[in-house]
Amino acid sequence: MVARIPLIAGNWKMNKTPAEGDAFVRALATRLGTIEAVEVVVAPPFTGLQAVVSASLGTGITVAAQNLFWEERGAFTGEVAPGMLTSLGVRWVIIGHSERRQLFGETDQIVARKVRSALNHDLRPIMCVGETQEERDAGMTEERLVSQVTKGLAHVTAGEAGELVVAYEPIWAIGTGRTATPAAAQEACALVRRQVAQVLGPAARETVRVLYGGSVTPDNIGDLMRQDDVDGALVGGASLDVESFAVIAERA
């Protein structure tokens, strides 16, 4: 069995100036010291990437973008190309977050193109999937997750599973304080892992990392991480505070 390194990623969303991001990462690095047992990633807005990458150098903390566009250059006003991110030292990219799907119309097809483009440029995708409250109530969680995983990975090859992270984020748990129970998170993350293996082949089951996201806090991370199929967390609100994010990383 392959040992998967736990991953804790903080999604800052539309928060923090470059100066605030710089200060945050310096404080987090001091607070955590040398971190080896867990990978720690922060995702500032585009405007903060350069400052945060600079502050993270030599700390073990790595940096994600919150989005990208799949083209390399051209007339795409307001978009950012994968090569622009890697040129700054960005190593990861969050793709298909539910806010992008719901507020900015991202479809599974768009997500699939972005995932392919990230992998083409050595950016590791953190692809988000998850059901709404209505879908859960209607007993459609499995169908939704199977569909999102299958379509989102349409252009990924079997050998790329080790580069891939899938974050299971039930939409009803994001920013609501309503965390999935550890058992529910386990059930959904196991389903996601099975479906990744269905799409990319059985070896992917061991190598893909599956995160849980949705109101993760220092108080619930321990129980979530004890689940077999939860390899880490994508953290929103609690990643904005150095102390709470540091405790989440430590407990992971």
Q: Which residues are catalytic?
A: 97, 169
Rg (CA), the chain: 17
Shorter beta-carbon distance to ligand PEP: residue 39 or 169: 169
Q: List the one residue out of 126, 171, 174 whose CA is nearest residue 144.
A: 171
Report DSSP state, residue 238: G
Q: Residue 21 or 170: which CB sits closer to ligand PEP?
A: 170
- 178-185: long-range contacts, CB 8 A cutoff, minimum separation 24: 178/214, 178/215, 179/214, 179/215, 179/216, 179/217, 179/220, 179/224, 180/212, 180/214, 182/220, 182/223, 182/224, 182/226, 182/227, 182/230, 183/227, 185/212, 185/224, 185/227, 185/230
Q: Which of 33, 175, 201, 222 binds ligand PEP (CB under 6 A)?
A: 175
* CB 87, min distance to ligand PEP, A: 26
66 binds ligand PEP (CB under 6 A): no
Please identify which residue in 22, 106, 135, 169 interacts with ligand PEP, judged by CB under 6 A. 169
- 237 touches ligand PEP by CB under 6 A: yes
**Residue 112 or 174 having the CB closest to ligand PEP:** 174
Q: Is 104 in the site for ligand PEP (CB under 6 A)?
A: no
User: Contact with ligand PEP (CB under 6 A): which of 6, 21, 96, 213?
Assistant: 213
The answer to the question of residue 214 lying near ligand PEP (CB under 6 A) is yes
- With tokens 């080896």, the residue in question is 36
Helix, strand, or coil (residue 83): helix
Angle of helix 141-152 relative to helix 182-200, nearest 10 degrees, comes to: 40
174 in contact with ligand PEP (CB under 6 A): yes
User: CB–CB of 11/234 below 8 Å?
Assistant: yes
Residue in 56, 62, 195, 215 binding ligand PEP, rule: CB under 6 A: 215
Residue nearest to ligand PEP (CB): 236
Helix residue ranges, H only, 138-177: 141-152
Distance CA 82, CA 56 (A): 20
126 vs 91: CA distance, rounded Å: 11
Which range of residues in 14-22, 181-189, 197-205, 208-216 is near ligand PEP by CB under 6 A? 208-216
11 binds ligand PEP (CB under 6 A): yes
**Shortest reach from residue 149's CB to ligand PEP, in Å:** 17
CB-nearer residue toward ligand PEP: 81 or 224: 224
Q: CB nearer to ligand PEP: give 204 or 234.
A: 234
CA distance 237 to 215: 7
What residues make contact with ligand PEP under the rule CB under 6 A? 11, 169, 174-175, 213-216, 234-238
